[in-house]
Amino acid sequence: MSDTMERIQQVTADLLKIDKGNIKENSKFVEDLGAESVQSIELVAAFEEEFDIEMNEDEALSVKTVGDAVRFIDAILARP
């Protein structure tokens, strides 16, 4: 498991108050993990803080699964 995946799981578990073990790569934030629209915005902010990055909010809100978030954040971190 990648460091990014583990950190996303922890942030998501803390914010949504769910067990980290229930958060899989194919878990959908809304349908599977129960994130409401306000929590989706809070997740974006929490990921920005955790990874010290800035995410385009519209692009970030189009991320639907945990795996999508890992790839999205990894792409941002890979930028020069």
pLDDT at 69: 96
**CATH number of 3-78: 3.20.20.70, 3.30.1390.20, 2.40.50.140, 1.10.1200.10?**
1.10.1200.10
Residue count of the chain: 80
For residues 19 and 48, what is the distance between their CA atoms, to the nearest angstrom? 21
Tokens (6 digits) for 38:
């306000």
28 phi/psi in degrees, rounded to 5: -90, 135
- Per the rule left: phi > 0, alpha: psi between -120 and 50, beta: everything else, 53 is beta
pLDDT, tens digit only, all 80 positions of the chain? 799 999 999 999 999 999 999 999 999 999 999 999 899 999 999 999 999 999 988 888 789 999 999 999 999 999 98
**Considering only CA atoms, which of 78, 70, 75 is closest in space to residue 25?**
70
